[in-house]
Amino acid sequence: MEPSNGEPSAEFQDSMALQTSVVFKKENAVVKANMKGTQFSNDVNAYLNNSQRASEVIL
């Protein structure tokens, strides 16, 4: 994320790696991310049925 002066307040340690650390360069830096994925649920019962024809989606 870049503040108004154009300098990043955080960056990836290795931007070419599949997994890497975030390096915070300024105090109180904030990083926001949009994540995509599957099988996100707070309900432990969401994955009990392994059928691909699920009639109910539990989020």
**What percent of the chain has pLDDT above 70?**
73
Total domains in the fold of the chain: 1
Tell me the mean pLDDT in the region 33-59: 68
What's the confidence (pLDDT) of residue 14? 93
Asked if pLDDT for residue 1 goes beyond 50, the answer is no
- Please tell me whether residue 46 adopts helix, strand or coil conformation: helix
CA dihedral 37, 42, 48, 51 (to 10 degrees): -30
What average pLDDT score do residues 13-38 get? 86
Strand partners of residue 40:
none
Distance between CA atoms of residues 11 and 18, nearest Å: 14
Query: Do residues 29 and 14 make contact, with C-beta atoms less than 8 angstroms apart?
Result: no
Give the pLDDT score at 8: 83
Asked if residues 40 and 58 have their Cβ atoms less than 8 Å apart, the reply is no
The domain of 30 spans: 1-59
pLDDT tens sequence across 4-23: 567 788 899 998 998 999 99
The answer, as to whether pTM is greater than 0.75, is no
